[in-house]
Chain A
């Protein structure tokens, strides 16, 4: 994303020459990703708060006639997603040891788990007894899970992108692996959001 942040700075190496101790233009992209994720978190926080308010305001919640949510499939999905967070961390460990094969392996597994999650989510959508416009609960349910699902999809694309790039020899190394780190941080974020979401939508009665 910020591939050339360095390029434009790399014109002259005079910082090294003048010798102020720090060379070139240090890489702040990881910090950038974290700051950006604060903004992302605020969108979810806003939507969660809206959901909680609707819940609190409504005379009955979920509104009468809302079918009970099945817990088995989402539960399994949750375990898969949380598990994938641990899996992706192994990739980070691997790349720090210059082990690109390991990186590919762990990223591959994470991508598969993410894909299973998404398929599970879609399966749930098609087998639910309510639609987007059935009532307020249904609407919030679809918008929250859907918005989260989009984030999972984006995370999946990131992971696949890193996998694609890792095929090029030497693209990632123990000293240069921003893409790996960014994808991992993003994936953890998506994971944490899901845990909150799962508690709010499925477990909170």
Chain B
């Protein structure tokens, strides 16, 4: 028995170098290895992030002056519509669920792969065509009705682009549903022996909650888009008042998905933060169960708050009150998470590397988005700020200050595991400072702009807002510049970075107990849960970390 295991261990390439120079080819192939797929997701979505960011700088260039002088108003509408669609459907959702979910879930639960590896590859390979399709819309008149595509405008404005948008989002949505099926089955069924739900790493809890939301929400969006497509292409009148349809029904269906979509984008990132903070604080996560269950509380509540996007459109008053109260209650489980993270940090031995800085930056920025989130939940106040720059500020604090900061933290944290190389810390810190400053410069003034009376989705605005808008645009450029040190760092580190040990941060979860990068099938021996995931500060944890990766070699089992 032991012999077989040892043979197996010697057969697994430790650094992939033994497989020869053609190794990189697997990243553009139909691979069924969850680690390859995870990295495929990460790289693809990051490329789309750069595309979306480029669109955003164009938008901010137009808004640097009050006049409409940079692009045509039609193109401007296309720019912000595609910017939002790319950032949501091609960057945050695939990066948070697809990339980190695929890469980490099997490693964290001690499985050798996802439950359905082929399905996984199919789901990934829907992303590039979907994204390229969306981009191609610029040649036919980009969709200009906003990422919400409210009819009747979307039925009469840039119709070809709109049709492309619908098709593209349907493809990306399907991909996301297939991914969710895989995550749910994998997490429920493929955990290592000894790992019960309550000893799963918190990222798994978060992914389970997010996958449930994808499963329940995305199909309704598909339904809405099918009906919208019929209206647009065939000429039916589901949402067209001229033919007796009702545009508000679309809004309900759209937001039934698109509000949970916010939680699909933030819950996995909550999970990443819950993994990163204890490792770099050298303390157990504070209140494991509270964090785990609050993910589910958020995802349940997330399903019954959609109409808070429609406080000024078509909802009867009692329904507005119902949705207002639900929305506000979400602040409670979210608050539990934030306070638990703070308590995790409190009294720890903080190792302030790039991953930790981004994780703390995440808490700091996300809280601002959370506070403005409770504000906009209040119906009377939302009536004032709905569809203004206050909302733009709020959503960027949640999705950039929240999700993107968290994704960066995740990349810095797991880069050594994924690539087998360390990233440069100095460049990482430069990246963090530039991002933090650029981000706040860009989005903090937008709160005031919105409250003062600047509405969103406009190419020209009242000259009295000129100064603050210029500040925002400068911040946006700084934010664009901030990605350069990161890209350089990542590329340089992949080839020239210092070789990473298997457990550079002294983590306790399974992925740190195998080689960096992990071999095909992840572990040399079958993982067994020796210690709960966050037992930092105990003697046992110290022993395990000092003993080295016990899942990397078969020999270690003898000990």
Which residue numbers of A lie inside 8 Å of B, CB to CB?
1-5, 8-9, 11-12, 14-15, 17-18, 20-21, 25-26, 28-29, 31-32, 35-36, 38-47, 49-50, 53-54, 57-58, 63, 132-133, 135-136, 139-140, 143, 147
Contact between B4 and A14 (Cβ–Cβ < 8 Å)? yes
Among the interface residues A36, A40, A42, A58, which one has the most CB atoms of the partner chain B within 10 A? A42
Instruction: Report B57 CB to chain A, min CB distance, Å.
Output: 36
| Cross-chain contact B119 with A50 (CB below 8 angstroms) | no
B residues neighboring A (CB under 8 Å): 1, 4-5, 8, 32, 112-113, 115-119, 177-178, 180-182, 184-185, 188-190, 193, 215-220, 222-224, 226-227, 230, 234-238, 243-246, 249, 252-253, 256, 521, 525-526
When chains A and B are docked, how far (Å) is the Cα of A28 from the Cα of B178? 14
Chain A residues positioned under 8 Å from B227 (CB to CB): 47, 50, 143
Q: Which residues of B contact A45 (CB under 8 A)?
A: 219-220
User: A57 vs B226: C-alpha distance in the bound complex, in angstroms?
Assistant: 21
**A contact residues around B116 at 8 Å (CB):** 2, 5, 28-29, 32
User: Which residues of A are found within 8 Å of B223, using beta-carbon distances?
Assistant: 43-44, 46-47, 50
Please state if B215 and A42 are interface contacts (CB–CB under 8 Å): yes
Say whether, besides A11-B521, A28-B189, A32-B181, A54 and B245 are in contact (CB < 8 Å): yes
Chain A interface helix/strand/loop/mixed: helix
| CB pair A136 B237 closer than 8 Å | yes
Looking across the interface, which residue of chain A has its beta carbon closest to that of B111? Answer: A25
Q: Measured between alpha carbons, how far is A5 from B234 in the docked complex, in Å?
A: 40
Contacts of B224 in A (CB 8 A): 46, 50
> B244 — which chain A residues lie within 8 A by C-beta?
58, 63, 135-136
| Cβ contacts under 8 Å, A143 to chain B | 226-227, 230, 236
CB distance from B548 to the nearest CB of A (A): 20
Contact (Cβ within 8 A) B253 A54: no
Are B118 and A53 neighbours in the complex by a CB distance under 8 Å? no
Which B residues touch A46, using CB under 8 A?
A: 219-220, 222-224, 253, 256
Residues of A near B246 (CB, < 8 A) are 53-54, 57
Contact present for A32 and B243 (CB under 8 Å): no
Are the CB atoms of A26 and B189 closer together than 8 Å?
yes
Among A31, A49, A139, the most chain B Cβ lie within 10 Å of the Cβ of A139
- Known contacts A2-B119, A42-B219, A46-B219; 13 further A-B pairs (Cβ under 8 A): A5-B115, A14-B4, A14-B525, A28-B185, A31-B188, A35-B180, A38-B216, A39-B177, A44-B223, A46-B223, A49-B253, A54-B246, A143-B236
